[in-house]
Amino acid sequence: MSVAGLSALLGQSGVTFGQPTTAAVNLLVFASLSALTAGGFTVAYRWYFKSLVPEGIAILAGVAVVVLYINTASLGVVVGQGSVDLFRPGVVFFNVVALGVATAVAPLGRRIGDELASGLFSLIGLGELDTEMSTMVRSVGRVTSVGLPDEIEDMESYDPVTEETKAELAGKTLVFPRRLSVDELRSRLVARLKDDYSVGYVDVDLTAEGTVEYLAVGSRAAGVGATIAPGTVAVAIRADPPNNAASGDQVQVWSTGELPKRLTSGEIRGVAGDTVTLAVDEADATVLSPTERYRLLTMPAEPQADREFATLLRSVDETMGTVTLEAGSTLVGETAATVSGAVLAIRQPDGKLVTLPERDRLFEGGETIYVLGRPDVIRQLDQWATTPLPDPTVDETSETADAAAQVDGEERAGTVEFDDLE
């Protein structure tokens, strides 16, 4: 059959089974069209989404092309000849068979496409082979995969998470979108761990390649115990709280006898009916009895921003820590500007405390610095404070501090972030 003859066969719209050759050729073309489209779609899908396309979608793609073809051919006839043969019973029957063939063949195309894609992409390194090499490639490629370490630590000063959660997290690989800076990747990783694994606090060391070098988790603070300062305790008493008294109000507690007597003062932590939970001094807790009734005197709001702030710290990742510098360590001679947390105070070796030190003040051996920052930053500082200075080239870090403040996080992973803290 010549090419001209073939195209003449295909150009027709009102094909019926009355013309067996034409019908057979058309069905064959439709079948290969459907398979080809489904296959191509599968390859594209695997390239983009890294998984096998759902069967329904592949079939839809294959059939859609055939429908489009039949439609377009019929439209051509309508425009050219002004007659519509699309609704003749024979034509309708043929078209239905054609769509059936397309539906049947599309899964075949999908399977071939998938075989092809898997072979092709693993050859050029885009596949999902879980080898060391593939991980490296993927981290600069389409997705970033982050492998969690097998050993997951507890965070100091936070409640530990359950062993089950740790076992679930250990050695797990999480996949993130590509082209994330290390900072973005860190916050996404932390958010993922918090959302999906109900972890309250995360302390993670992340390298520029997206490798987790250290992971510690803590559980969310629950209950009143975690929010009251040392030296104070929470007690529940029966009293007559003012109707708008709420957590944080300062109150005096008076007895209700003949001669009212002031017993103690405290801070309201909760009100339920006439039961009031108060945070009071440890020593005063014995004065209050759960069966007695008391009167409360609400005090004018007293700014307690420091307590509020300390409580706020319990609910965020950042914490306060102290780092003591050994003589001759890497940190000696550095300034507060190189610390990516806030240096709140420095205790000098003679015991004198320098609060809010100047940012160009040099650290000296034997000093203890009080830092507010992420736990990993504090841990890193602690490591530097005990590591002897290897060679003098470290000095360049302080010179680049200001310039680096604006730079996006790519290269500052694992090292200090030089963000200017105003």
Partner 1 sequence: MVVLSRGTRREFEPVSLLRRSGIRFRKLTVKPAGPLDGHTIGAVGVRDRYNVLIIAAKHEQWQVVPQGSQTLSAGDDLYVIGSCDSLAAFEEVAV
Residues that bind partner 1 (CB under 8 A): 156-159, 221, 223-226, 228-236, 285, 290, 303, 305-310, 312-322, 341-342, 344-345, 353, 355-356, 359, 370, 372-373, 405-406, 419-422
Closest distance of CB 13 from partner 1, Å: 60
Nearer to partner 1, 26 or 340 (CB): 340
Amino acid at the residue 172? K
Torsion of CA 213, 208, 138, 143, to 10 degrees: 100
Consecutive H or E run containing 105: helix 89-123
Dist CA 211 CA 146 (whole Å): 6
Nearer to partner 1, 49 or 309 (CB): 309
Dist CA 219 CA 151 (whole Å): 17
Dist CA 359 CA 241 (whole Å): 48
How many angstroms from the chain centroid is the CA of residue 214? 17
Nearer to partner 1, 172 or 359 (CB): 359
Closest distance of CB 387 from partner 1, Å: 22
Q: Where are the alpha helices (DSSP H) in 124-181?
A: 132-140, 163-169
Dist CA 197 CA 175 (whole Å): 15
Closest distance of CB 159 from partner 1, Å: 7
Q: Are 265 and 250 within 8 A, CB to CB?
A: yes
Closest to 85 (Cα-Cα) out of 24, 19, 6, 15 = 15
Nearer to partner 1, 38 or 404 (CB): 404
Please count the residues of the chain.
422
Closest distance of CB 325 from partner 1, Å: 17
Closest distance of CB 312 from partner 1, Å: 6
Nearer to partner 1, 232 or 386 (CB): 232
Nearer to partner 1, 52 or 228 (CB): 228
Nearer to partner 1, 58 or 280 (CB): 280
Q: Output b/e per residue, 168-179; b: 16+ Cβ within 10 A.
A: ebeeeebebeee
Closest distance of CB 338 from partner 1, Å: 14
Closest distance of CB 380 from partner 1, Å: 15
Q: Are 398 and 338 within 8 A, CB to CB?
A: yes
